[in-house]
């Protein structure tokens, strides 16, 4: 993970070949308000990146730019060496949006069929079925009647069963209780590390990151405050992150 925006930490000349995801002076403006400015990041293969920041910091905007749900106002994103659109079409990027949306009227089994229809080339039907079975999601249950944790697991199953090279998760644990939160994150990271998948996940709780992420990006007021590998203890990390956020508030 490198950052070379306003206060560069590491050198800008990165090896493009090893990067799963790169952004260059990426910016997004909604009407007159800048949601994200001057964001330059690079995510290497296999990295697990935690994106932290207060509400409205631009986390969702950045993630939606990465998966092509939003067009950038300025700058560029390269995902797997191409445009986000091309990367999504290749099926090599899995995305779980905020609040883990699913079709309330469709059953768990319907959702798995859906994953197959929408990703004919890369869909691991047997793996998806096994995962759902292992997690105890009833196949005949409508998604609207699942608990928040079960729905998050269903959405994650859809994203993982493509065997993605990059997994993007937008506050996947926001609606879960602390126990389910820990279980979900551990499980996600285990699944990702087993296949060498890079992960970018956002959260507003620093505590979520410390034990699972290899890198941290702190976002505040639409700007990257910090982008660095995690090589400190959880307590130290929390202090560093809060320091950065505090500076953002004062500035």
Partner 1 sequence: MSRLALRQFRTSAWTAVVGLALVAAAVVATRPHFVTAARRACGADPDCPAITGLALDNAAARTAAGLVVILAPALIGAFWGAPLVAREFEAGTHQLVWTQSIGRTRWLAGKLAVAGTATVVASASLSALVTWWAAPLDHGAGYATFDQRDIVPIGYALFAFALGLAAGLVTRRTLPAMALTLAGLLAARIAVTEWIRPLIAAPRVVTTPLDPDNTGYGWGGNILLGVGESTLQPRTPDLPDAWIQSVRVVDAAGASLTDQTLRATCPTLETGGHGPAGPAPEAVRQQLHDCVARIGEQHHVVVTYQPGDRYWTFQWWELAVFLLGAGLLVGYACYRLRRGTS
Q: Is 213 exposed, middle or buried (0-12, 13-18, 19+ CB in 10 A)?
A: buried
112-141: contacts with partner 1 (CB under 8 A): 113-115, 117-122
Q: ∠ CA(159), CA(209), CA(8), 5° rounding?
A: 100
- Percentages of the chain per state (helix, strand, coil), in multiples of 5: 35, 25, 35
Please name the residue ranges forming H helices in the chain: 59-66, 84-89, 108-118, 125-134, 148-160, 178-195, 206-210, 234-250
Residue 196, token pair as written in the block = 């060498």
Tokens 């260059």 sit on residue: 24
Cβ proximity to partner 1: between 90 and 193 the closer is 90
Nearest distance from residue 196's CB to partner 1, in Å?
Answer: 20
Measured distance CA(229)–CA(145) in Å, rounded: 40
The answer to whether 31 contacts partner 1 (rule: CB under 8 A) is no
Reading the block at residue 79, the tokens are 């995902």
From 7-15, 63-71, 134-142, 238-246, span contacting partner 1 (CB under 8 A): 63-71
User: Smallest distance from the beta carbon of 238 to partner 1, in angstroms?
Assistant: 30
Choose, by CB under 8 A, the member of 104, 190, 207, 242 that binds partner 1.
104
Rounded to whole angstroms, the Cα distance separating 156 from 213 reads 18
Among 49, 97, 169, 216, binds partner 1 (CB under 8 A): 97
Task: Give the residue with the Cβ less far from partner 1, 123 or 221.
Answer: 123
Rounded distance between C-alpha atoms, residue 41 and residue 47, angstroms: 13
Q: Does 172 bind partner 1 (CB under 8 A)?
A: no
Q: Binding of partner 1 at residue 75 (CB under 8 A)? A: no
- Would you count residue 103 as binding partner 1 (CB under 8 A)? yes
Nearer to partner 1, 167 or 220 (CB): 167
| Shortest separation between residue 93's beta carbon and partner 1, angstroms | 7
Residue number, 112 or 230, with CB nearest to partner 1:
112
Positions in the binding site for partner 1 (CB under 8 A) = 64-65, 67-72, 77, 83-85, 88-91, 93, 95, 97-99, 101-106, 110, 113-115, 117-122, 155, 158, 162
């Amino acid at each position: 993970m490198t950052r070379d925006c306003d206060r560069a930490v590491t050198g800008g000349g990165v090896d493009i070949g090893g990067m799963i995801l790169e952004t260059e002076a990426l910016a997004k403006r909604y009407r007159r308000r800048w949601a994200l400015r001057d964001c330059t990041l690079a995510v290497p293969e296999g990295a697990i990146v935690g994106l932290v920041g207060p509400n409205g910091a631009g986390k969702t905007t950045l993630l939606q730019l990465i998966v092509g749900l939003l067009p950038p106002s300025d700058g560029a994103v390269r995902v797997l060496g191409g445009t986000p659109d091309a990367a999504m079409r290749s099926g090599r990027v899995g995305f779980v949006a905020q609040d883990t949306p699913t079709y309330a009227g469709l059953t768990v089994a319907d959702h798995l069929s859906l994953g197959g229809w929408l990703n004919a080339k890369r869909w691991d039907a047997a793996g998806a079925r096994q995962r759902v079975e292992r997690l105890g999601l009833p196949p005949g249950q409508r998604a609207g009647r699942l608990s928040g944790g079960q729905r998050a697991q269903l959405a994650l199953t859809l994203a993982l069963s493509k065997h993605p090279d990059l997994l993007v998760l937008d506050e996947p644990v926001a609606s879960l209780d602390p126990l389910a939160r820990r279980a979900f994150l551990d499980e996600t990271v285990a699944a990702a590390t087993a296949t060498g998948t890079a992960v970018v996940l956002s959260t507003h709780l620093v505590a979520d990151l410390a034990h699972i992420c290899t890198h941290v990006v702190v976002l505040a007021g639409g700007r990257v405050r910090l982008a660095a590998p995690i090589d400190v203890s959880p307590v130290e990390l929390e202090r560093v992150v809060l320091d950065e956020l505090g500076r953002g508030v004062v500035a």
